[in-house]
Structure 1
Amino acid sequence: MHLSHTNQTNQSIASEFIFQAFSSIPEIQHLLFTFFLLLYFTIILGNVSIIWVICSDQSLHTPMYFFLGNLSFLEICYTTVVVPQMLASVLDVHRTIPIINCALQMFFFTTLGSTDCFMLAVMAYDRYVAICHPLRYILIMTWKMCARLVVGCLVLSFVLCLELTLMIFTLPFCGHQPQINHFLCDVPPVLRLACADTHIHQNVLYSVGIMVLAVPFLLISISYIYIVAALLRIRSTFGRHQAFSTCSSHLTVVILQYGCCSLVYLRPKSSSSEEEDRQLALIYTFITPLLNPLIYSLRNKDVKQALKKAMRRTAASQPNEV
């Protein structure tokens, strides 16, 4: 009884967490801070550029680029939820995060990340309708339908991630200032700190992972099966290449996003490593949001042309302003 009471007391002590440091050497800390800050600014600049080009070019006011603009906005918010706290922890290895702040970070991070995954599935459906049902595309993909799809992605993510976050933070956590072996309040590393049976929570996490990752990926795969079948029926090589070029950027982003996230959230707990999860999280927190605007601007002819036109307009207006 005495041991049980002592254990319960220790469990109730934790009111804040501390992140595992990347390094405790000041020179390396400053180097990492500069590196991550530059990555963050590049992500913001790249995604803001995509949004700016889509808003400023009338030819890109289509459902496909409406979804792309929303995806870029999600990437900005998604990264911003993580990076400021991460940069503070890089510079100050003793910096803590209160449990309520950790819960909020987890909720917004998972909600925005899940919305991102659902949005990629919506974009695949948009391409399916455009290529397989071109004559009915305008009737199906109305602006009202596009707005409903975006709101639906956000609401579904909100409900799933709110339930998951509330379940996790009703658990007791061990010790004083328990250390999260991560740079953010992600679900798996926080669950590892719980002083209670997390079997049910692991099952809920796995179920949410299937709904957020496996189901949308299955829908994307089905969409692309129909898209490929439709492309093979196009006799013109130019027409086939033009149709495929609108899908290749999206497909590249899908492989990056779903590949890394699936390895973290859908792997069995016994085969997952904390260090591997941390490294994979760096990819979907920094690399994917960084590559998305690059992929869409370099591999998508319409975005590339619109970007050049926007830059020419901006350059032409400079002398007049002076």
Structure 2
Amino acid sequence: MELDNQTFQTEFLLLGLSELGPWQSVLFPVCLCIYLAGLVGNLLLVFLVKTDSHLDTPMYFFLGNFSFLEICFTSVTMPRLLANTLASMKAISLPGCLLQVYFLHSMGCTECFLLAIMAFDRYLAIHRPLHYSTVMTRRLSVTLEATTWIACLLYSSLHSVILSQLSFCRRSQEIHHYFCDIPALLQAACSDVSLGKSVLHVAGTVVVVCPFAWTLLSYVLILAAILHICSAQG
């Protein structure tokens, strides 16, 4: 029996909320209110940054981009979660699952590096206040932002390509979560997943550890700079 004849996987069942039973209907308005509140708040912040000339600084530029990123990030998972709280069949197609994984990891990667950039921006503003405006120019801000988005979209596409090559040998497989993620798909695959696991561990570690270390270092230097300010006016 050939493996190719078994690869007819068409959907996954997201069962992350099934254990709540009748409480799923109560969860829907709560999650909807939280999602809408975050959506409105972030949209308002993006609008203010774009329209208020007083906020035309690198700090607010990054903050506006971070709010836009949060809108995209939550919109990858929350609509599916809301739909599953009301649906009897919590199914998602294989292409839909792969698409969700792609955007989930690209947004997550972008958030990690954007936080590191924002920390570096605050370090320059506090530690080098006289040189800040000449170093953190509008061009540099846009370049850092664009590079982060492009690099993380390419990073996530690497995972998507590897996952798309896997074979899934049952028509419906259960995922005990409310969204698709790489570990769940690797566990559900019936083909060799060693490459996918290696890429997940290596690339995932770099994406998380490097921005975290840079952010931590930036705030340590910020704290050190503040402690060296002696006068009350300073």
**Given the two structures, how large is their TM-score scaled by the length of structure 2?**
0.93
Q: Which of residues 142, 145, 149 is equivalent to 1:147? A: 142
1:89 matched to which residue of 2?
84
1:48 matched to which residue of 2?
43
Give the CA deviation at 1:238. Answer: 6.1
2:164 matched to which residue of 1?
169
Task: Give the structure with the higher percent helix.
Answer: 1
Q: Which of residues 190, 199, 203 is equivalent to 1:204? A: 199
2:182 matched to which residue of 1?
187
Q: More displaced, 144-153 or 222-231? A: 222-231
Give the CA deviation at 1:154. Answer: 0.3
Which structure would you say has the larger RCO, counting Cα contacts within 8 Å and 6 or more residues apart?
2
Q: Which of residues 82, 96, 101 is equivalent to 1:101? A: 96
Q: Secondary structure at the match of 1:125?
A: helix
Q: Which of residues 151, 155, 179 is equivalent to 1:156? A: 151
Query: Which amino acid is 2:167 matched to?
Result: P
1:110 matched to which residue of 2?
105
Q: Secondary structure at the match of 2:130?
A: helix
RMSD between aligned residues: 1.8
Conserved in 2, the CA contact under 8 Å of 1:13 and 1:176? yes
> Distance in 2 between the 1:238 and 1:191 partners?
57
Query: Which amino acid is 1:216 matched to?
Result: P
Deviations 1:87-112 (A, max 9, x none): 11221131321111111111111111
Matches within 5 A, 1:117-266: 117-237=112-232, 239=234
2:32 matched to which residue of 1?
37
- What fraction of aligned residue pairs are identical, expressed as a percent? 36
> Distance in 1 between the 2:26 and 2:190 partners?
36
Q: Secondary structure at the match of 1:17?
A: strand
Give the CA deviation at 1:188. Answer: 1.6
Deviations 1:268-292 (A, max 9, x none): xxxxxxxxxxxxxxxxxxxxxxxxx
Conserved in 2, the CA contact under 8 Å of 1:21 and 1:93? no
Equivalent residue pairs, number: 234
Q: More displaced, 52-61 or 165-174? A: 52-61
Q: More displaced, 47-56 or 68-77? A: 47-56
> Distance in 2 between the 1:21 and 1:135 partners?
52
CA distance 1:199–1:145, shift in 2 (3 Å): same
> Distance in 2 between the 1:151 and 1:25 partners?
41
Give the CA deviation at 1:52. Answer: 2.7
Q: Secondary structure at the match of 1:122?
A: helix
Give the CA deviation at 1:166. Answer: 1.0
